[in-house]
């Protein structure tokens, strides 16, 4: 049976889905973060937001005590002060993420697979959805997972392939929908609710009917107009040394964050600094770190309508090539700042909804370290949370083209992004997305490219995965650039 969208002018996702009520997939939809544009009560503080996201103790007095740090809350590896016990719990959940490789391989081989997610309000419980769960060998979903970990199986209406195809179909129909009066700002696959969500800035009845005819399974969501980071900060003093996570500036105009360092396989001897594509949209201009020119941007970048990744790269000068090419800044607020080595990458389809992820950004660090900034409590250089949408195509502002914009010009839309449940700010674009770590190594997941408009209640950020970074650079721009996963690369 085909599930059709409600006939109302703009249908809003049922509020119960963000409150832990039973969902149509047969398991509890425990997403602590509501749809875009919805404020979270008492969550202007990053520590409160993090604790509510992961179901940790979050009463105001306790959160205020934790925010002071000290010996009882000395762990900063997740971007907010945690006790040793809380950090151990987060690490236990991270270990569960790492144990799912065999289970995911089996699940993806099943024709009825509808996706998987991590339920963080159920202590990191993995949930696998199928349209025909009775045909599934449950023991194979527990293979490699600790025996004490519960693995849930739920029933869904649509397979992941059907959801993805619907998302792609809507994205391919943007021009048709615009002509019909539907201004689409994003199209996202929500594995947890087993739906395709369409955010709109404006819509006519004709436009709503056009969407229903194209994709009757889609759900319309009101509002939610995020914008790409505009890179407008004026100063971000970093530690010394060129590594991922530092601020970079284009000819004194556009600030962004350095991402991962890579090498070109198609041209020997070229070391690349990868960042967001919209950062290098100005062409082959010099880029600086502090007062030094570190290199120049390639003429082409993956930032155009329908691109698979918002990605760009800078050719590093020989004097700016780091001796250890896989280093990245992890947490600038510790003393000394924590630096990690990127030693592996994760495929896009293995980055599940509900999984723990972190982002480093120098715009956020700047706000956090300047108390006069009204948003300084909302941002940290290191910010962690979870993936809240498995895949998302584009997001933008209320303009006639409904495309992703930097400031108010140069609007584009990007495909196949992941959505996280925490915000970023101007200057964070290009920063590395990785898994949280208590050690000295990290798993590279992708590149931060978008965020909602700055406010204490905004709760969305977007990143393009490393896998699609590589595809965009290689297949569409002609540059075979891979991340350096060893010091010598």
Q: Give 413's DSSP letter.
A: -
Highest mean pLDDT among 80-89, 202-211, 222-231, 420-429: 80-89
Quick one: tokens of 438? Answer: 């208590």
Band of residue 106 on the pLDDT scale cut at 50, 70, 90: very high
- DSSP class per residue in 205-252: HHHHHHHHHH-TTEEEEE----EE-----S--PPPSS--BT-EEEETT
Whole-number pLDDT of residue 58:
92
Q: What stretches of 135-206 adopt beta strand conformation (E)?
A: 152-155, 182-190, 195-203
Summary mean pLDDT of the chain: 79
CB 414 within 8 A of CB 464: yes
Least confident of 73-87, 239-253, 412-426: 239-253
**pLDDT-derived band at 287, boundaries 50, 70, 90:** confident
> pTM of the full predicted structure?
0.77
Its sign, for the CA torsion 106, 107, 108, 112, is: positive
| Residue 211, pLDDT score | 85
The mean per-residue pLDDT over the stretch 324-342 comes to 87
Q: How confident is the model at residue 405 (pLDDT cuts 50, 70, 90)?
A: low
Residue with tokens 């270990």: 95
> Taking each helix axis from N to C terminus, what angle separates 60-67 and 46-54, rounded to the nearest 10 degrees?
120
Answer yes or no: is pLDDT of 471 > 90. yes
Q: Residue 234: its pLDDT value, please? A: 29
Highest mean pLDDT range out of 105-109, 201-205, 404-408?
105-109
Q: What is the pLDDT, as a whole number, of residue 14?
A: 20
Banded model confidence at residue 411, pLDDT cuts 50, 70, 90: low
Contacts of 362 by beta carbon, 8 Å cutoff, 6+ apart: 233, 236, 238, 245, 246, 247, 255, 257, 332, 381, 427, 428, 431
In the chain, what percentage of residues exceed pLDDT 90?
42
**Does pLDDT of 1 surpass 80?**
no
Q: Check residue 227 and give its pLDDT.
A: 35
Most confident of 84-98, 209-223, 379-393, 397-411: 84-98
Q: What is the pLDDT of residue 454?
A: 75
């Amino acid at each position: 049976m085909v599930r059709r969208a409600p006939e109302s002018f703009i249908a809003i996702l049922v509020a119960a889905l963000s409150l832990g009520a039973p969902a149509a997939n047969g398991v509890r939809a425990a997403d602590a973060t509501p749809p875009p544009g919805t404020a979270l009560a008492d969550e202007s503080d990053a520590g409160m937001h993090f604790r509510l996201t992961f179901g940790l103790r979050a009463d105001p007095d306790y959160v205020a005590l934790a925010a002071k740090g000290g010996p009882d809350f000395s762990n900063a590896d997740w971007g907010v002060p945690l006790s040793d016990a809380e950090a151990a719990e987060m690490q236990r959940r991270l270990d569960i993420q790492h144990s799912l490789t065999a289970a995911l391989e089996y699940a993806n081989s099943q024709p009825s697979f509808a996706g998987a997610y991590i339920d963080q309000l159920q202590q990191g419980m993995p949930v696998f959805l199928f349209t025909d769960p009775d045909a599934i060998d449950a023991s194979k979903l527990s293979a490699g997972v600790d025996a004490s970990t519960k693995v849930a199986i739920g029933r869904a209406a649509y397979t992941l392939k059907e959801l993805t195809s619907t998302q792609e179909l809507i994205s391919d129909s943007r021009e048709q929908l615009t002509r019909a009066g539907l201004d689409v700002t994003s199209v996202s696959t929500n594995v947890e609710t087993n739906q395709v969500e369409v955010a709109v800035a404006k819509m006519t009845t004709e436009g709503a009917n056009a969407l229903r005819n194209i994709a009757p399974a889609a759900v319309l969501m009101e509002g939610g107009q995020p914008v790409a980071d505009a890179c407008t900060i004026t100063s971000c003093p970093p530690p010394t040394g060129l590594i991922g996570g530092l601020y970079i500036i284009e000819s004194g105009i556009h600030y962004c964050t350095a991402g991962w360092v890579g090498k070109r396989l198609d041209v020997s001897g070229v070391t690349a600094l990868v960042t967001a594509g919209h950062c290098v949209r100005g062409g082959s201009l010099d880029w600086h770190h502090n007062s030094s020119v570190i290199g120049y941007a390639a003429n082409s970048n993956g930032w155009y309508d329908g691109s698979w990744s918002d990605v760009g790269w800078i050719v590093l000068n020989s004097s700016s090539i780091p001796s250890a090419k896989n280093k990245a800044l992890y947490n600038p607020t510790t003393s000394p700042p924590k630096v990690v080595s990127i030693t592996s990458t994760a495929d896009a389809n293995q980055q599940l909804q509900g999984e723990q992820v972190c982002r480093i950004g120098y715009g956020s660090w700047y706000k956090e370290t300047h108390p006069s900034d009204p948003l300084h409590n909302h941002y940290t250089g290191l910010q962690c949370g979870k993936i809240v949408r498995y895949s998302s195509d584009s997001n933008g502002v209320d303009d006639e083209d409904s495309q992703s914009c930097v400031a108010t010009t140069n609007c584009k839309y990007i495909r196949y992004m992941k959505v996280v449940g925490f915000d970023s700010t101007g200057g964070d674009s290009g920063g590395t997305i990785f898994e949280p770590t208590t050690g000295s190594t990290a798993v590279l997941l992708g590149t931060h490219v978008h965020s909602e408009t700055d406010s204490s209640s905004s709760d969305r950020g977007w990143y393009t995965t490393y896998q699609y970074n590589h595809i965009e650079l290689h297949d569409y721009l002609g540059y075979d650039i891979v991340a350096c996963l060893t010091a010598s690369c």
